[in-house]
Amino acid sequence: MGIKIAYNLAQVVVVMLFAPLVAGVINRLKEMVQSKRGPSIFQPYFDIWKLFHKDEVISEESSWIFRFTPYLVFVTPIFVTLLIPVLTSYPLFFAFMGDMLGGGFVLALGGFFATLAAVDTGNPYGPMGASRTRLVGFLAEPVFMIVFFTVSFVAGSTIPYIVQQKWVHPIANFFEPTHILVMLAFFMLILAEGGRIPVDNPSGHFELVMIDESKGLEYSGPGAALMKWGGQMKLFVLICIFLNVLVTPWGLASGVGVGELLLAVPLVLLKIFIFVLALVTVESSLAKLRLFRISEFLGAAFVISVAAMITWLFAV
Amino acid sequence: MPHVAQPESIVVQLNALAGGLFLLSAFGMVATRQVQGCMRFFILQSVFLASSAVLLGLELRSWHLIAVGVINLVNKAILIPWLFKKTVSEEVYTKREISQVLNIPISLLVALGLTVGAYYLASPMLKVGAGLPALANLPIGLATLLLGAYTLTVRREAVPQLLGILSMENGAFFASLAIAPELHLFIELVIAFDLLVAVFVIAVLTRAIQRRIGTTEVGSLAALKEESVR
């Protein structure tokens, strides 16, 4: 019992420690693809460190929501980390506190408050970004639902630890069309929810076309650091769900030994690195979509997820 | 009942996967905006069709299906695109958006409805033939047939319409793998050559239309105009 709580907390520590690294690696790789040298992969750590030591300026016109939001954005991915398999393939202490839908709702709570906070200050760009985020969000929501329902229908459970066993035992299950289609739909969702390129440009500096970034423009100092760190952790958690639950549940610790847990850390990071390579390939080879084309992108994701469900429902 | 837990061989699963991707490329043909993209999805679709035939050939131990797969691969993934390139290349390779009667999100939803309908129609047959390795091909082929017909209906351009017809043919072929895997090889060859001739004729016709009116946007042709021949 005690060791399971400790491991659960170890997962949180891993997510907190390595989320900025993943963001740094993505940035560096993208710059390298554009034949630039790019910042150090540890740059996000320096940024967060710097921001924590700066003064914070808060608009007098803003309400408690604006002050409260950074903490919530920071804490919600941590809660989700408690529910999902990051390092181990067996359920940990908090695994049965909530299922995948619960995790989705917790993440959505953070997003909801970030949107409210963007509207709160009266900065003209905030509400614009907020309304666009909602546009993407409400188009992504049905896809999330169908993907989760399909996955839990197939596995007969909504607990991620049980779902991950389904696709690889036996190995033939991995090639089921439902599995591949769900993977594809979820990958498109990560692109949309993480504000990656076909939907949103994470490194853009032009406020008029921003979707995700413009929500945090008003934050400074520690608030900005928390928002940034929280966003990076959210991406890390989404990647973990994608890799450890849906795609490749290999390389996780299966025993209770500390050694296995420590070995799982580099293996998981390796998997994430491979995923990041794929992500950078997609981001470097596609152009950002026009705002009203986003509905087509997510419409395609929706169709793929429903196709996944149909092929399972009528499977022989 | 949805799924019977039975150990299925990896080849059968791979065939089902080829089927899923086949269906996906049919969706892609509905959703893309450019002629070239449509073309690429058609080639992909044909590759998945051929791989499904080869996989089923391996599973059923018939060289015949493997030959069918190879014929399809050569014919649809190489010869037909080459023919297009030779006859109407400026139409295929210009980066222009195709106009559609319905916009793309609605098209995708309609396509989804058609797929569900196809599965619904095929479900009684699926129950009868439970356990056959090629069974997954039947509803997917049927769905692709309907999607091809839909592409044919809503696209306003000659080349994507032709690709819609070819996609219908692909769908029928895919379904036939489930119903009649032992079709005679001569018939397959005849179909392949027929298809090639049909593509050639329509492509030349398209080219003639383009020469005459400067575009292949056949949807905007409102009336047939009779010219004095004499």
Name which of B105, B111, B123 is nearest A314 (Cβ-Cβ).
Answer: B123
Find the residue in A nearest to B10 (Cα).
A172
CA angle in degrees (0–180, nearest 5) for B157-A198-A147: 95
Question: Residue B15 domain-assigned?
Answer: yes
What residues of chain B, 13 to 52, have a C-beta less than 8 Å from chain A? Answer: 13-14, 16-17, 19-21, 23-24, 27, 31
**pLDDT at position A279 over 90:** yes
Question: Residue B170 domain-assigned?
Answer: yes
- Mean predicted confidence (pLDDT) in A155-171: 81
**pLDDT at position B3 over 70:** no
Question: Residue B39 domain-assigned?
Answer: yes
- Cβ contact B3–A311 (<8 Å): no
Question: CB count, 10 Å around CB of B92?
Answer: 21
**pLDDT at position A113 over 60:** yes
Among residues A239, A200, A237, A298, the alpha carbon closest in space to that of A73 is found at A237
**pLDDT at position A138 over 60:** yes
Q: Work out the pLDDT band at B8, boundaries 50, 70, 90.
A: low
Question: Residue B123 domain-assigned?
Answer: yes
What's the CA gap between B28 and A165, in Å, rounded? 31
Q: For residue B56, which residues of chain A lie inside 8 Å, CB to CB?
A: none
Find the residue in A nearest to B119 (Cα).
A314
What's the CA gap between A10 and A119, in Å, rounded? 36
Q: For residue A299, which residues of chain B lie inside 8 Å, CB to CB?
A: 31, 104-105, 108-109
Cα dihedral B208→B212→B216→B217 (10° resolution): -140
pLDDT per residue as tens digits for the range B163-185: 999 999 999 989 888 887 777 78
The pLDDT value recorded for residue B2 is 44
Q: Work out the pLDDT band at B222, boundaries 50, 70, 90.
A: low
Cβ–Cβ < 8 Å for A238, A193: yes
Q: How many domains in chain B? A: 1
The pLDDT value recorded for residue B187 is 83
- Mean predicted confidence (pLDDT) in A109-137: 89
The pLDDT value recorded for residue B178 is 82
**pLDDT at position A71 over 90:** yes
What residues of chain B, 133 to 152, have a C-beta less than 8 Å from chain A? Answer: 135-136, 139-140
Among residues B220, B212, B229, B128, the alpha carbon closest in space to that of B178 is found at B128
Q: Work out the pLDDT band at B36, boundaries 50, 70, 90.
A: confident
- Cβ contact B20–A306 (<8 Å): no
Find the residue in B nearest to A177 (Cα).
B17
Question: Residue B124 domain-assigned?
Answer: yes
Question: Residue B1 domain-assigned?
Answer: no
**pLDDT at position A316 over 90:** no
Determine which of A76-80, A255-259, A265-269, B78-82 has the lowest per-residue pLDDT on average. A255-259
Domain ranges of chain A: 2-313
Determine which of A190-194, B144-148, B207-211 has the lowest per-residue pLDDT on average. B207-211
- Cβ contact A316–B126 (<8 Å): yes
Average pLDDT, chain B: 83
Q: For residue A312, which residues of chain B lie inside 8 Å, CB to CB?
A: 2-3
pLDDT per residue as tens digits for the range B191-221: 888 888 988 888 888 888 878 777 777 777 7
| Two structure tokens written together for A3 | 């060791």
- Cβ contact B105–A175 (<8 Å): no
Question: Residue B149 domain-assigned?
Answer: yes
Q: Work out the pLDDT band at B91, boundaries 50, 70, 90.
A: low
Question: Residue B2 domain-assigned?
Answer: no
ipTM score of complex: 0.82
What's the CA gap between A273 and A261, in Å, rounded? 19
Question: CB count, 10 Å around CB of A75?
Answer: 16
Cβ–Cβ < 8 Å for B20, B141: no
Residue-wise burial string across B180-204, b where 16 or more C-beta atoms lie within 10 A, e elsewhere:
ebebeeeebeebbeebeeebeebbe
Question: Can you give the residue range of the structural domain that contains B95?
Answer: 10-220
The pLDDT value recorded for residue B228 is 56
- Cβ contact A176–B31 (<8 Å): no
Looking at per-residue confidence, does B9 or A295 come out higher?
A: A295
Question: Min CA distance, B136 vs chain A (Å)?
Answer: 7
Percent of chain B with pLDDT over 90: 26
| Two structure tokens written together for A10 | 């170890």
Percent of chain B with pLDDT over 70: 89
- Cβ contact A176–B17 (<8 Å): yes
Average pLDDT, chain A: 89
- Cβ contact A315–B3 (<8 Å): yes
